[in-house]
Chains A and B, each alone.
Chain A
Amino acid sequence: EVQLQQSGPELQRPGASVKLSCKASGYTFTEYYMYWVKQRPKQGLELIGRIDPEDGSTDYVEKFKNKATLTADTSSNTAYMQLSSLTSEDTATYFCARRGTTSGPIDYWGQGVMVTVSS
């Protein structure tokens, strides 16, 4: 069974950084991109970027290039996203989700993690 298990909720101060994790199981980690998606409260879905765990290559949506850093550890089948210089605009739920590197849709999602930025 494919599972993407994300880390727990975060409460951070403005200006801080946070590193979120997404542990994959039930499939070959290196055969699927890991996407990261942002959803602000009662808002739509916003793509942040993706990483190919096979070689660590990344693609970012332009507006997140200086905000998010995606990495992956193939020894633990875990993907990470670090968010830097947090502001209230970063308060959101963040999802990881997988997509086959050769083709196909984003088919499985993590449960999401809520990040709250507040002083």
Chain B
Amino acid sequence: DIQMTQSPSFLSASVGERVTLSCKASQNINKYLDWYQQKLGEAPKLLIYNTNNLHTGIPSRFSGSGSGTDYTLTISSLQPEDVATYFCLQRNSWPNTFGAGTKLELK
């Protein structure tokens, strides 16, 4: 199975700050990488799919990049409503696997 490693596990940032979250795969996943946001007590919500495609209705401050084994989610200007845990998911091969998540809080 492909292992997905997210870093950092925890991040504290200020409103308006640029935030970068990382997801590293144990092998090439050919850009089949999606990002999800999960707020406390809610279901995950799709943000970005296939590395850099913004899902419908997601604010443009969210963006994704990467290739091969290394992928990044960027929030250009952190907003209070972005406090959540962020998970990456690889869909290159079965079983699809999630990263352990990055918990993002406000400083």
Chain A binding surface SS class: strand
Given A109-B45, A112-B43: A44 in contact with B94 (beta carbons within 8 A): no
Closest Cβ–Cβ distance, residue A106 to chain B (whole Å): 7
Interchain CA distance A61-B44 in the complex, whole Å? 20
Interchain CA distance A94-B31 in the complex, whole Å? 27
B46 contacts which of A44, A47, A107 (Cβ < 8 Å)?
A107
Q: In the complex, which range does the number of interface residues on chain B fall in? A: 20 to 34
Tally of A interface residues using CB under 8 Å? 18
Closest Cβ–Cβ distance, residue A57 to chain B (whole Å): 13
Chain B binding surface SS class: loop
Q: Please, could you name 24 A-B residue pairs with CB atoms under 8 Å apart, sorted by A? A: A44-B87, A44-B98, A45-B44, A45-B87, A47-B95, A47-B96, A59-B95, A62-B95, A95-B44, A97-B44, A104-B49, A105-B46, A105-B49, A105-B50, A105-B55, A105-B91, A106-B34, A107-B55, A108-B46, A109-B43, A109-B45, A111-B42, A111-B43, A112-B43
